Amino acid sequence: MADQSIQEARTPDAPTARPASGANGISRRALLGTAGATGLVLGAAGGAVGYTAAPAGATPLTAVGSGRAMFHGKHQPGITEGLQARGHLVAFDLVAGAGRKEAAALLRRWSVTAERLMAGEVAPHDDTGVARDAGPSSLTITFGFGHSFFGRTGLEKQRPAALEPLPDFSSDRLDKARSDGDLWVQIGADDALVAFHALRAIQKDAGSAARVRWQMNGFNRTPGATARPMTARNLMGQLDGTRNPKPADADFDQRIFVPAAGEPAWMANGSYAVVRRIRMLLDDWEKLALSAQEQVIGRRKADGAPLSGGDETTPMDLDKADAKGGYVVPLNAHARITRPDRNGGAAMLRRPFSYHDGIDVDGTPDAGLLFICWQADPLRGFVPVQRKLDRGDALSAYIRHEASGLFAVPGGAAEGEYVGQRLLEG
């Protein structure tokens, strides 16, 4: 859990936009472009007018509010972007009688809504006004299909082989009601109201075609809360993401995305998302001495450096021994077991959210990690690593897998196209 999660990456600087002219001041969209030296030029034409018309001289949005991800592209948004401060995961099941036609109409509605909200515009129907005054705030909305979707829509022949159900693991304590689903939506943003606004719009768009199966809420550190960009910490206090694959890696696309010539054709440039709700047994974890916690993980808690020495990015010396002849990094340390070179090169792009859903009746916190990992094939990414962890990870005594899902996430929609169109109309 601690060694393969994405590090924070933020939008680069861009020049400011010139305000739109007009007797009544500038539009909200033009205002978004005046975010200052750290802001973004939105530059998108067309669409609805924004929530408000700001008077000339209004205070521009901050860099957090002005960040914008693009809906159209080679890949769907929400995969390679940096960790967002707030997230919602929601699964839907098609209602009885709804099939391919209704699913296509739903994905068309969802795509229109996602494109507009990610641009900082109002929802196309009955906008609630929840995100009024805010910018796009790096909102991303990502859509995927579960194993059951293909039977409900008569598309069994198009179901990818990689979407076969995950095997059972001994650490699983899965709640079936909070697992799987026909359709999956991932929402992330750097503002909680922007994220909730998107969740509400997506739920309303489902209409009579689909009903919510389960929904989970998560969070990460807010951008700018640290003096410098750094690897995120999880609720155990560990730096979580030191060895995550990076887009600059030569084999990144090969590991994370289905190739353009891959099978099935509609999954070209897509990816597979494994979603796990992993509860952290924090009361037990926090009773451990610092040194014991570090032995479980294999890294120092303060800075993420391997116990074999160096700093966070120093390669781990798995053969280094202590004065008594034992391994400095224990054989069952989480960071040792999850290494790709110990799992046949298996790697996945982890992009999680933490969660806290209150206190149980016995006083224990219901808190942990909404684990989301991306890979070109889960049978070569998640599954071999989880099997290895299942056989002797020291961290297993302090976590519990309570929900699970696997979803096929098609490539990005081209201009004028909706997500999943190549599957549903191919």
The per-residue pLDDT for range 260-319, each reduced to its tens digit, is 998 999 999 999 999 999 999 999 999 999 999 999 999 999 999 999 999 999 999 999
Lowest mean pLDDT among 222-226, 365-369, 382-386: 222-226
pLDDT band, very low/low/confident/very high, at 59 (cuts 50, 70, 90): low
pLDDT above 70 as % of the chain: 86
pLDDT at 347 over 90: no
Q: Is 416 exposed, middle or buried (0-12, 13-18, 19+ CB in 10 A)?
A: exposed
Look at residue 396 in the predicted model and tell me its pLDDT.
Answer: 96
Higher pLDDT, 18 or 326: 326
pLDDT band at 161 (very low <50, low <70, confident <90, very high): very high
Annotated catalytic residue, options 240, 303, 322, 341? 240
Which of 252, 215, 266 has its CA nearest to residue 87?
Answer: 215
* pLDDT value of residue 43: 32
Per-residue pLDDT for 55 more than 90? Answer: no
Nearest to 257 by CA among 274, 242, 240, 269: 269
Contact of 105 with 209, CB cutoff 8 Å: yes
C-alpha separations of 225 from 39, 208, 228, 352 in Å: 17, 41, 8, 18
| Angle value at C-alpha 386, between 394 and 148, nearest 5 degrees | 140
What's the mean per-residue pLDDT of the chain?
88
Mean pLDDT of all residues in 374-393: 95
Question: What pLDDT score was predicted for residue 8?
Answer: 40
Mean pLDDT of 163-175: 95
Residue 339 has pLDDT above 90, yes or no: no
Confidence of residue 25 (pLDDT cuts 50, 70, 90): very low
Q: What is the pLDDT of residue 343?
A: 80
Q: Which residues contact 23 (CB under 8 A, 6 or more apart)?
A: none
Q: Is the entire prediction scored with pTM above 0.85?
A: yes
Asked if residue 19 has pLDDT above 70, the reply is: no
pLDDT given for residue 60 in this prediction: 65
pLDDT of residue 1: 61
Region 85-112 average pLDDT:
98
**Is 240 a catalytic site residue?**
yes
More confidently predicted of 60 and 177: 177
- Which pLDDT value is given to residue 14? 38
